[in-house]
Structure 1
């Protein structure tokens, strides 16, 4: 009898298990018990899943760090690209502004105009010259006047098939006829070869020329358009006993910043009346040197 006790107990346990499963499926009476048992078995389930959860967490953290480093590198590349584009846009915007100013200036000029780009500078420090990308193929001729949006720059001195050389008004060998816009006093404006410094030649010490006066082209010699800004008087030195005043001027054109220029054909200027005041005119020999 004692040998059958384990079997008997097993059968009783199986029967009870079957009865409990049937009652659990058919009736809700076991839900409170299952709820309590869930609290008791939760630590065991947590400990059983702890190694797997830990491995997943470590893998996710490692992957997240790698993704963050990759995203950071990608964003750094994008920032560099965007910064380069912003700089390029700034350059294009400044160039468009200069071109608009140039086109606005060309609308007020008489005669035909041609827009050219500056593509080179003369390396000789004793020569103030630039190279433009227009030549004989576009109809450029020697002696043609060259302007920037703010004022005169110089004249063409050498013409090639595809490019031309322009002598700047600041070159020591350049001279041109100008007049004071305020009162019409005429004089010869010559380059000094020293940066943005120009000098008025042979102006009588009694001539009405003041600091801040605007000097405009006269159109004499038919090289430059008449009445276009050339320079601004920056200093007038009346030396005691000297026949002529020492007058310095600064070009109106931004010669060192210009990227595009205008080539113009000037219309002939009507001769001045014989009784017109000649105060401040250049001597005949200097007038022949204009634009050389």
Structure 2
């Protein structure tokens, strides 16, 4: 059984090329990506929310948990229900949203045309710490995460009022949904499969990210054949929220490069026209 995720329209028009954006644990798509989405003319931008976050329903405690692969399949199903067809799309995601992007590119390679992975990793340190965090929020709710997350989330460049807005969203998250995402993160490890990612990949790291430091993004960029790394000064774990102008500029460039590469490949693959005398 797939988890339930909700898709939101963030910017653009349905006739434009599709860009899907994914959130970090404890955040919502519109809060994390809204400013970036508005700065991407020419794209129809859809965001999705994790189970128990934002517009997605709370987790049903009577159902089993899920893997990152199942979460990626749930995102794909929700996108298809939203747009009404199995269309290809560009993808960008932060933290667990970036992990879902890697999973989509590996499990559903015909659907993802380009990939941006921000403040994320190919593995998140194994299950033990994530099991402990899941147990904590199940026992005490989201209050401990509201207290501890600022140290993991934010770099020095973000104003205090913006920090408060993100923490307000975190306080409303369903603890069971949060816990199940923690457990999925603990089991996630695609390091051995990174060389199979067959689309252009932009890895964006925050120079002050203590959760997924630049070395974690460099590992992805180095292993993916078409990978590229950018490190943002003053930024922590929520790059689209902390530095929306810089992230939007990077995405515009990355999406344009990927489109140019696809067009070039298509042109080379197209058979030459036959002359009239042939």
TM-score when normalising by structure 2:
0.26
Larger Rg: 1
**Greater per-residue strand proportion:** 1
TM-score when normalising by structure 1:
0.25
